[in-house]
């Protein structure tokens, strides 16, 4: 099997990667007049969209396929292909699903939730931090820096992959075509150290780069407009060329070393109370005839006289509408002061340069005056020891792992416990009743936590997804979007080396645990327990290998057929979708559970293709961990007749390919009340020899 997989992987490397399917003719139908679709560009697989505006042809945006720019595989191993259209400002004109093979949306939830999720991007912007189903959605309304996307229950990993595909593809186009810099993601930004304070003077703060300063005289401003229609339009500047036009200081007051040194204690406390976690506050102080705030400025709004960009992306700064007082002896101008707030969702990164622009506008004309604007540019940079560097990306898989760290800790603790118990099996089975309670509790955890809560049901889809990704020479990064699956796959791989397939099939498979529960229920209800003869049982067990071969072959030769064949497994219906599905699927999954009440774990033993794959891979097992005695099989057949899986041969050997590690035979082996050889030894130990006495004659 291992050799076959390697050979198949080599063949896969020769297969061409999947490409986009859109054509110009198809796009013309999607974007009819008055829009015009240009030719596909040579440097990037995008089509420009134009609109005729009077005599001019203006660029409306670009349309492209995500699979050409960010082919991130979904859970079937095939990338979800999305049509994405963005305008020159980085806003989404449209996002639509072109093709996908996501199991949860094929016959399960249906495609409607998938299409609805994709439609939410329209009108949103790359300049916003897009959050999927965030808890803060209930607390904040969307704004210029942040927007929310409703997630899809039961398809969390799939919609994260879609989001990553959309953003990755759109950012590539934006950086190449729209002049976006290699800007930082709002979820990959540094954080100000809230507890760091150093006592510094204003001069020291300036020397450290924490306070920016620009001073302009009227003469300086006049020079800006020299040679333009705006020259000579300011009489006051001409009359007093050396007078101060503006003398402005700006600093990031939310840095404790700045705020506590520059502001009075009460003002610092008031400012800190007005900020939420991750927010920034810029303190702007100025003097001169020109102010950052216009005469008609409305408090609480955004000023147009001071602009902030980071990595060429604009960042909104909103007036906090609060009065603050400067610390005594600061020598900073206080004629005009304002505190501008940048909310955390705007993604302002204190580790990167703050680029400010001070636009100065002059008007020429009376009825329809011409506006002539010149910008003064300056920057600010926070020293590195005042912030903590970025810890990860919440839109990609590292952020997914971070968001599920509690669930992963619970799962890891359970897996460590299980491994310890299995390694110390003598202690575990020493008391049969205690072992029974441990097994019941763990299987309940498997059904409730691993299955229904964490959605950690491993499936043959995990194999077909990897196979199809290898065939198309794509990364396996898509697996990392579901950390529970990755951890379970890793543990299962290790357990295959030690114990074989039984650890997963007998302890960690949610549907297998459901089957065991219904099987025990059938025994408790005293339903007839059907047990096939050894010959028929062996033949029935071959069915799962046939199913496995058919599914893997279809994944290689006919991927469209694979989506249908994997439904041979009832896992998606019973666990992923919790039986909320079309009635034929529900009837099939229910029938299998009912069947297990009469034939113990019917599906697991005879039909499960994933179990077949594990059985084959489990042949690399290094331990024959089930203890045996010389009497096992000859003459004792006790364990064999009690094994519900019929995994013990007449000779007493364990068929590890069919063993589910229920450990019933191990409990029997350790019990002097159940194991026939031990019972005989016990009886022999209690035999009292009869003494013959000869009485007196």
pTM higher than 0.85? no
| Of 392, 418, 417, 424, the residue nearest 405 (C-alpha) | 392
| Of 123, 343, 340, the residue nearest 252 (C-alpha) | 340
Given this model, what pLDDT does residue 77 score? 61
pLDDT tens digits for 141-162?
455 556 778 877 766 777 878 8
Given this model, what pLDDT does residue 414 score? 94
Cβ neighbourhood burial of 168 (10 Å; 0-12, 13-18, 19+): middle
Given this model, what pLDDT does residue 564 score? 81
- Whether residue 418 is predicted with pLDDT greater than 80 in this model: the reply is yes
Q: For 312, left (φ over 0), alpha (ψ -120 to 50), or beta?
A: left
- Whether residue 693 is predicted with pLDDT greater than 50 in this model: the reply is no
Distance separating the N- and C-terminal Cα atoms of the chain: 84
Triad 442, 445, 446: Cα angle to 5°: 90
- Whether residue 694 is predicted with pLDDT greater than 50 in this model: the reply is no
Phi/psi of residue 575, each to 5°? -105, -60
pLDDT tens digits for 643-672?
888 888 888 888 888 899 888 888 888 877
- Whether residue 409 is predicted with pLDDT greater than 60 in this model: the reply is yes
Q: What is the mean pLDDT of residues 274-286?
A: 87
pLDDT tens digits for 312-363?
676 778 888 888 899 887 888 888 889 998 877 566 788 888 999 898 888 8
What is the pLDDT of the chain when averaged over all its residues?
Answer: 82
Q: Is the separation of the CB atoms in 342 and 315 below 8 Å?
A: yes
Max CA pair span of the chain: 156
Q: Is the separation of the CB atoms in 307 and 314 below 8 Å?
A: yes
- Whether residue 29 is predicted with pLDDT greater than 60 in this model: the reply is yes
Q: What is the mean pLDDT of residues 409-416?
A: 94
73/514: higher pLDDT: 514
pLDDT tens digits for 63-111?
999 888 877 777 666 788 899 999 888 889 999 998 887 777 876 677 8
- What number of helices (H) and strands (E) belong to the chain? 28, 18
Given this model, what pLDDT does residue 23 score? 83
Q: How far apart are CA 456 and CA 473, in angstroms?
A: 26
Given this model, what pLDDT does residue 298 score? 76
Q: How far apart are CA 251 and CA 210, in angstroms?
A: 6
- Whether residue 620 is predicted with pLDDT greater than 60 in this model: the reply is yes
Of 38-47, 296-305, 567-576, 592-601, the one with minimum mean pLDDT is 296-305
Q: What is the mean pLDDT of residues 467-484?
A: 75
pLDDT tens digits for 174-207?
877 776 644 444 456 788 888 889 999 888 998 8
Given this model, what pLDDT does residue 474 score? 65
Give the model's confidence band at 6: pLDDT under 50 very low, under 70 low, under 90 confident, else very high: very low
Given this model, what pLDDT does residue 13 score? 35
Of 517-526, 607-616, 683-692, the one with minimum mean pLDDT is 683-692
Q: How far apart are CA 74 and CA 479, in angstroms?
A: 8
């Amino acid at each position: 099997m291992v050799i076959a997989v390697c050979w198949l992987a080599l063949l896969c490397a020769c297969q061409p990667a999947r490409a986009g399917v859109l054509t110009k003719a198809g796009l013309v139908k999607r974007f009819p007049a008055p829009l015009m679709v240009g030719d596909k560009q040579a440097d990037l697989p995008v089509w420009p969209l134009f609109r005729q505006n009077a005599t001019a042809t203006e660029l409306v945006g670009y349309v492209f396929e995500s699979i050409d720019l960010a082919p991130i595989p979904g859970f079937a191993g095939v990338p979800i292909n999305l049509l994405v259209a963005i305008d020159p400002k980085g806003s989404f004109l449209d996002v639509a699903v072109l093709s996908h093979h996501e199991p949860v949306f094929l016959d399960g939830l249906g495609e409607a939730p998938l299409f609805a999720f994709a439609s939410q991007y329209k009108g949103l912007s790359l300049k916003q931090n897009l959050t999927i189903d965030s808890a803060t959605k209930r607390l904040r309304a969307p704004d210029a820096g942040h927007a929310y996307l409703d997630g899809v229950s039961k398809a969390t990993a799939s919609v994260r992959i879609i989001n990553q595909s959309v953003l990755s593809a759109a950012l590539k186009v934006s950086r190449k075509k729209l002049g976006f810099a290699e800007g930082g993601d709002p979820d990959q930004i540094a954080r100000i150290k809230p507890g760091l304070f150093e006592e510094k003077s204003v001069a020291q703060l300036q020397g450290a780069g924490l306070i920016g300063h620009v001073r302009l005289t009227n003469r300086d401003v006049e020079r800006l407009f020299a040679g333009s229609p705006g020259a000579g339009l300011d009489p006051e500047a001409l009359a007093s060329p050396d007078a101060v036009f503006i003398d402005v200081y700006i600093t990031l007051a939310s840095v404790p070393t700045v705020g506590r040194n520059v502001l009075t204690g009460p003002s610092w406390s008031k400012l800190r109370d007005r900020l939420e976690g991750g927010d920034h506050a810029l303190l702007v102080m100025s003097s001169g005839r020109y102010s950052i705030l216009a005469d008609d400025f409305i408090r609480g709004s955004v000023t147009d006289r001071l602009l902030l960009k980071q990595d060429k992306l604009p960042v909104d700064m909103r007036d906090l509408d609060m009065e603050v007082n400067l610390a005594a002896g600061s020598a900073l101008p206080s004629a005009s002061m304002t505190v501008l707030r940048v909310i955390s969702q705007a993604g302002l990164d204190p580790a990167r340069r703050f680029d400010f622009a001070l636009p100065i506008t002059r008007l020429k004309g009376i009825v329809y005056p011409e506006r002539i604007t010149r910008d003064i540019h300056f920057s600010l940079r926070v020293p590195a020891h005042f912030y903590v560097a970025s810890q990860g990306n919440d839109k990609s898989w590292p952020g997914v792992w971070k968001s599920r760290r509690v669930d992963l800790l619970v799962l890891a603790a359970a897996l460590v416990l299980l491994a310890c118990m299995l390694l110390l099996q003598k202690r575990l089975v020493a008391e049969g009743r205690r072992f029974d309670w441990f097994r019941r509790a763990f299987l309940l955890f498997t059904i409730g936590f691993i299955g229904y809560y964490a959605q950690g049901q491993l499936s043959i889809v995990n194999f077909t997804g990897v196979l199809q990704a290898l065939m198309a020479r794509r990364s396996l990064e898509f697996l990392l979007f579901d950390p529970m699956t990755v951890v379970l796959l890793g543990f299962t791989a290790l357990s295959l080396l030690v114990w074989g397939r039984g650890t997963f099939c007998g302890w960690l498979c949610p549907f297998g645990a459901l089957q065991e529960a219904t099987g025990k229920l059938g025994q408790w209800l005293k339903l007839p327990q059907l047990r096939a003869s050894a010959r028929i049982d062996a033949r029935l067990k071959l069915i799962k290998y046939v199913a496995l071969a058919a599914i893997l072959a279809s994944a290689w030769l006919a991927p469209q057929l694979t989506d249908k064949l994997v439904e041979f497994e009832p896992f998606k219906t019973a666990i992923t979708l919790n039986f909320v599905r079309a009635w034929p699927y529900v009837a099939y999954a229910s029938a299998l559970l009912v069947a297990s009440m009469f034939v113990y774990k019917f599906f697991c033993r005879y039909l499960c293709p994933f179990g077949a794959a594990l059985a084959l891979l489990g042949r690399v097992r290094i331990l024959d961990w089930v203890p045996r005695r010389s009497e096992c099989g000859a003459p004792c057949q006790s364990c064999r007749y009690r094994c519900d899986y019929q995994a013990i041969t007449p000779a007493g050997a364990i068929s590890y390919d069919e063993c589910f590690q229920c450990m019933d035979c191990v409990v029997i082996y350790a019990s002097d009340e159940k194991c026939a050889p031990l019972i005989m030894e016990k009886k022999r130990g209690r035999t009292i020899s009869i003494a013959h006495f000869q009485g007196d004659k």
